[in-house]
Amino acid sequence: MRQKPLQLIVCAVFSAVLILGCGGTRLIKTNVDETHRGTPVTDVLVIVIADKKETRELFEGKFVAQLKAAGVEAVSSAAAIPMPKDLKLEKEDILKVIEANGNDAVIVTHLTGLDKSESFNRTGRHYNGYYGYYGYVYTSVHDTGFYSGHVDVRLQTNLYDVKTEKLLWSGESETKDAKSAIKLIDDLLALVIKELQKNELLPVRGKS
């Protein structure tokens, strides 16, 4: 039986801020389809929208591993669909993978915001009196000092039911002062898996 077309772009109204932390990453907005709560998905196609092939493969691979560890079958779109040069997947190719694998859900993750800031730090603060202060300021102004970077990253993750095309769960995450892409991914996945289990959209091992 042919699956209905998959709608990848859905407008959703998110619920109030949810305070959940994992290292420097937290979920700041979530929305869940209450009618689907308690009906766990069993087989997920993972799609990460990224500007680099390597990022997509890394992120999807880790997501698949985390889902399988949670007792859910999963497949990476990077492993199942040859990536075109423009990195854009066609709907027909996605549907073929869904049909071939029997996926009952699709999870899509993408970047929604990237804030970069730099702070300038000057060296030395030794001065005595007004001229000592003048000397310090003069030196500071002419000193190269050093810059330190600060990057905040926001990602959105959406879980869709394949048959109904409904948005089952959506969450926006925020990572403050992201230092490592791998840690960011690991922290995000830990939060998403935990939240999906809490909403009974993923099975919880040991719970009948």
Can you give the pTM of this predicted structure? 0.74
Tokens at 64, concatenated: 């698949």
Sign, CA dihedral 75-79-80-82, equals positive
- Give residue 32's domain range: 20-117+150-198
Terminal Cα-to-Cα distance of the chain (whole angstroms): 30
Percent of the chain with pLDDT over 70: 71
∠ Cα 81 84 85 (to 5°): 150
Asked whether residue 26 is assigned to any structural domain, the reply reads yes
Asked whether residue 95 is assigned to any structural domain, the reply reads yes
Sign, CA dihedral 174-176-177-181, equals negative
Inform me whether the pLDDT recorded for 127 exceeds 80: no
Inform me whether the pLDDT recorded for 14 exceeds 50: no
Q: Tell me, what amino acid is at 33? A: D
Average pLDDT (66-91) is 91
Asked whether residue 37 is assigned to any structural domain, the reply reads yes
Rounded to the nearest 10°, the torsion over CA 120, 124, 130, 132 is -140
Q: What is the CATH number of the domain that holds 108?
A: 3.40.50
Asked whether residue 142 is assigned to any structural domain, the reply reads no
> How many independent structural domains does the chain possess?
1
- pLDDT at position 206: 60
Asked whether residue 172 is assigned to any structural domain, the reply reads yes
Asked whether residue 12 is assigned to any structural domain, the reply reads no
**SS3 at position 30:** strand
- pLDDT at position 3: 40
Average pLDDT (102-129) is 74
Of 111, 92, 81, 106, whose CA–CA distance to 181 is shortest? 111
Asked whether residue 208 is assigned to any structural domain, the reply reads no
Cα gap 181→187, rounded to integer Å: 10
Render pLDDT for 157-169 as a digit per residue (tens, 0 to 9). Answer: 999 999 998 999 9
Asked whether residue 69 is assigned to any structural domain, the reply reads yes
Tokens at 185, concatenated: 């991914």
